[in-house]
């Protein structure tokens, strides 16, 4: 069974149980300054888990792409990846443990509508209890019945047991293993955070695998949570029913929720009974491209192949979501992924010059009908190749310096980062291969010190980049909306505002793009703006609740925080067919004809993958 069949069966199964399929959130969430990426399926649904009414109902199902930065160091084994498709089903105060555990067991084991997994290969875990929340006896009873119905003895392992005692099928663990919140255990949860107990499902790939990967086995007796490679967690039913109070205790939420998550990659591996997620159709087509550029055998270099395939696929998705390589934030993660892949490719003596183009094309081919229809493939290739070229020019010099450092200090590592663009974690990795260590926290302190010294304050820039609301500024502000829409039309949807400043004389607009626009592209953009001005389109505004506004196609302004209600300005007769639609609080003309005409007077490259255009009234 391939991933497409797993995806289809999952959605269809839960639709039959009354769930509505919802659209996934973007990888880079708007209005979310506290996190770099969407990193869990529940992240976009927190307000609804806390009691707000979801417009599509109380039973939801989705497949949410996420980026797991915490798993980057784990990539290379048979089960971890950075870009994950998290299948999820949700009960917002509707059904609870009996329905959820029964349904997910059915989905995993049913041969007609599910994955057809042999139930004898399944093991589960539950919460063993603490001083505030009792042991999850309800889940234990449900699991015992489900296994018994399939003729399987399901004993509960003692909470201190680690080995697979005879008949042990249900394992009770503490909060480190069987409590879920975005922050960790109940003790780690900040006030206001929600979470609850969970019940995880594990697929047993056979004891031979545990012995085969003994380096990861840690010489412990094998059990579902020992992380030896024999067992892989394929799903987790979280029962979100608690909220952390200001005094540090837990209180019940107004509703009891179910939040199920399972990696499509691991579910596909279980359905195929193949312990290596990278040999499925989600990765193998990419690995075959990499193999064609080197003589290294996959089985002899599995870790390296897995890292390259994972990092390049994740990079394509990040670029599609408007991320460009840089030394901070989302851009730093992208840079780290690309440069780590580049280092391994150099070790493999990869020769094929079209490797990155071929991988980009393959990823788009694999996912185009699922997540995106129109993409600027050349832009993605150019972004990756520019970063490769930039890194190659400094890699050899940086490696020579690294070779000479006998006892590396935090300043040595920071200087490599500052001068040669070496991601900090990559430097640490290269040093560890040579038996050397460095304190990363000290390096990060060195970085913060540098940032504090170099930080300057930009005077005269108000919220939204507007200095006043004069007639010219008002015209230029609306014209800048047209500019962004025109750029997205000509270059692609990766264009998003990264900075803006408008005065009475001109508008300055910053956006991601791997290279400067050609003269032809500049003309196309300028002509399209003036065309929309001549059409004298209406400029309309609608106030919507934030949650509803975020479900529209309106573009979110860069680095803005929004209140409970937001203004959406759209240019056209209605929002659905509008040429431009954006969250905005600034002044606007009532019809585009009031602008007159515009000219693009200047173009600059102001950073890696960041362009700046200047727009004036004609």
DSSP reduced 3-state for 66: strand
Tokens of residue 218, six digits: 């840690």
Tokens of residue 470, six digits: 């004069």
Strand partners, 257: 92, 240
Q: What is the rounded average pLDDT of the residues 404-413?
A: 82
Task: State the pLDDT at residue 218.
Answer: 43
- What is the residue-wise DSSP string for 583-614? E--S---SBGGGG--EEEEEEEEEETTEEEEE
Task: State the pLDDT at residue 337.
Answer: 94
Burial 442-479 (b: 16+ CB within 10 A, else e): ebeebbeeeeeeeeeeeeeeeebbbeeeeebbbbbbbb
Q: What digits encode the pLDDT tens for the residues 15-38?
A: 999 999 998 888 987 655 557 888
- Per the CB < 8 A criterion, the answer to whether 281 and 269 are in contact is no
Whether 236 shows a pLDDT value over 80: the answer reads yes
> Rounded to an integer, what distance in angstroms lies between the CA atom of residue 244 and that of residue 239?
15
Stronger pLDDT, 411 or 459, i.e. the higher one = 411
Tokens of residue 203, six digits: 């697929």
Stronger pLDDT, 530 or 223, i.e. the higher one = 530
**What number of residues does the chain have?**
618
pLDDT bucket at 460, cuts 50 / 70 / 90: very low
Looking at residue 126, the DSSP 8-state letter turns out to be E
Phi, psi angles (nearest 5°) of residue 43: -55, -45
On the CB side of 253, how many CA atoms lie within 13 Å of its CA?
A: 24
Task: State the pLDDT at residue 94.
Answer: 97
Closest CA to 234 of 329, 154, 114: 114
Q: What digits encode the pLDDT tens for the residues 52-66?
A: 899 899 999 999 999
Stronger pLDDT, 439 or 468, i.e. the higher one = 439
Whether 474 shows a pLDDT value over 80: the answer reads yes
> Rounded to an integer, what distance in angstroms lies between the CA atom of residue 206 and that of residue 376?
44
pLDDT bucket at 312, cuts 50 / 70 / 90: very high
Task: State the pLDDT at residue 162.
Answer: 52
CATH fold for domain 3-279 = BirA Bifunctional Protein; domain 2 (3.30.930)
Q: What digits encode the pLDDT tens for the residues 72-125?
A: 888 989 999 999 999 999 999 999 999 999 999 999 999 999 999 999 999 999
Looking at residue 554, the DSSP 8-state letter turns out to be P
Q: Where are the domains of the chain?
A: 3-279, 285-404, 408-451, 464-617
Q: What is the rounded average pLDDT of the residues 480-502?
A: 91
Task: State the pLDDT at residue 564.
Answer: 65
Closest CA to 10 of 268, 351, 292: 268
Task: State the pLDDT at residue 607.
Answer: 77
Task: State the pLDDT at residue 158.
Answer: 66
Task: State the pLDDT at residue 136.
Answer: 96
Task: State the pLDDT at residue 417.
Answer: 72
Task: State the pLDDT at residue 461.
Answer: 25
CATH fold for domain 464-617 = 3.30.980
Q: Which CA distances in Å does 564 have to 24, 53, 489, 550?
A: 22, 15, 30, 11
Strands (E), 184-309: 194-204, 231-244, 250-263
- β-pairing, 231-244 vs 194-204, is antiparallel
Tokens of residue 98, six digits: 């009996």
This model's pTM is above 0.85:
no
Considering the chain, what percentage of its residues have pLDDT values greater than 70? 89
Q: What is the rounded average pLDDT of the residues 372-386?
A: 90
45-59, 178-192, 370-384, 423-437: segment of lowest average pLDDT = 423-437
pLDDT bucket at 441, cuts 50 / 70 / 90: confident
Stronger pLDDT, 3 or 500, i.e. the higher one = 3
Q: What is the rounded average pLDDT of the residues 240-248?
A: 92
């Amino acid at each position: 069974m391939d991933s497409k069949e797993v995806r289809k069966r999952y959605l269809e199964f839960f639709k039959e149980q009354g769930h509505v399929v919802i659209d996934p959130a973007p990888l880079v969430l708007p209005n979310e300054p506290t996190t770099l990426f969407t990193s869990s399926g529940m992240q976009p649904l927190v307000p609804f888990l806390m009691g707000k009414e979801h417009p599509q109902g109380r039973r939801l199902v989705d497949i949410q792409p996420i980026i797991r930065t915490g798993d980057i160091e784990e990539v290379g084994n048979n089960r971890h990846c950075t870009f994950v498709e998290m299948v999820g089903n949700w009960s917002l105060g509707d059904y609870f443990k009996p329905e959820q555990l029964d349904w997910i067991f059915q989905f995993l084991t049913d041969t007609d509508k599910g994955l057809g997994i042999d139930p004898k290969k399944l093991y589960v875990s539950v919460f063993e209890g603490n001083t505030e929340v009792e042991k999850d006896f309800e889940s234990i009873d449900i699991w015992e019945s489900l296994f018994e119905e399939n003729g399987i003895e399901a004993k509960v392992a003692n909470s201190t047991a680690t080995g697979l005692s005879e008949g042990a099928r249900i394992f009770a663990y503490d909060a480190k293993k069987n409590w879920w919140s975005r922050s960790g255990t109940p003790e780690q949860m900040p006030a206001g955070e929600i979470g609850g107990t969970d019940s995880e499902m594990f697929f047993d790939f056979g004891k031979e695998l545990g012995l085969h990967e003994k380096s990861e086995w840690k010489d412990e007796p094998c059990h579902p949570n020992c992380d030896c490679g024999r067992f892989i967690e394929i799903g987790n039913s979280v029962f979100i029913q608690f909220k952390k109070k200001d005094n540090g205790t837990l209180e019940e939420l107004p509703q009891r929720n179910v939040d199920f998550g399972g990696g499509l990659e691991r579910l596909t591996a279980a359905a195929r009974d193949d312990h290596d997620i990278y040999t499925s159709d989600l990765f193998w087509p990419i690995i075959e491209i990499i193999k064609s550029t080197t003589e290294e055998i996959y089985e002899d270099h599995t870790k390296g192949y897995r890292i390259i395939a994972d990092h390049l696929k994740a990079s394509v998705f990040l670029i599609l979501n408007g991320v460009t390589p840089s030394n901070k934030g989302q851009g730093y993660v992208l840079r780290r992924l690309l440069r780590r892949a580049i280092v391994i490719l150099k070790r493999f003596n990869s020769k094929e010059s079209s490797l990155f183009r071929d991988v980009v094309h393959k990823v788009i081919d694999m996912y185009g009908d699922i997540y995106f229809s129109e993409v600027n493939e050349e832009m993605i290739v150019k972004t990756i190749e520019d970063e490769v070229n930039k890194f190659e020019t400094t890699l050899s010099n940086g490696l020579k310096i690294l070779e000479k450092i006998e006892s590396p200090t935090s300043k040595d590592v920071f200087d490599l980062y500052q001068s040669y663009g070496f991601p900090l974690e990559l430097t640490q990795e290269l040093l560890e291969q040579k038996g050397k260590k460095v304190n990363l926290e000290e390096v990060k302190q060195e970085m913060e010190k540098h940032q504090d010294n170099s930080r300057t304050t930009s005077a005269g820039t108000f919220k939204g980049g507007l200095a006043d609301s004069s007639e010219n500024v008002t015209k230029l502000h609306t014209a800048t909306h047209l500019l962004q829409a025109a750029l997205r039309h000509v270059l692609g949807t990766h264009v998003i505002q990264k900075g803006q400043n408008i005065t009475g004389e001109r508008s300055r607009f910053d956006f991601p793009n791997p290279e400067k626009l050609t003269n032809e592209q500049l003309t196309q953009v300028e002509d399209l703006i003036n065309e929309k001005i001549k059409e004298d389109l209406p400029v309309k505004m609608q106030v919507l609740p934030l949650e509803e506004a975020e479900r529209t196609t309106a573009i979110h302004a860069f680095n803005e925080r929004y209140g409970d209600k937001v203004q959406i300005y759209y240019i056209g007769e209605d929002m659905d067919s509008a040429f431009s639609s954006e969250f905005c609080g600034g002044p606007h003309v009532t019809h585009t004809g009031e602008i007159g005409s515009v000219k693009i007077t200047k173009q600059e490259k102001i950073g890696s993958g960041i362009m700046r255009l200047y727009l004036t009234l004609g």
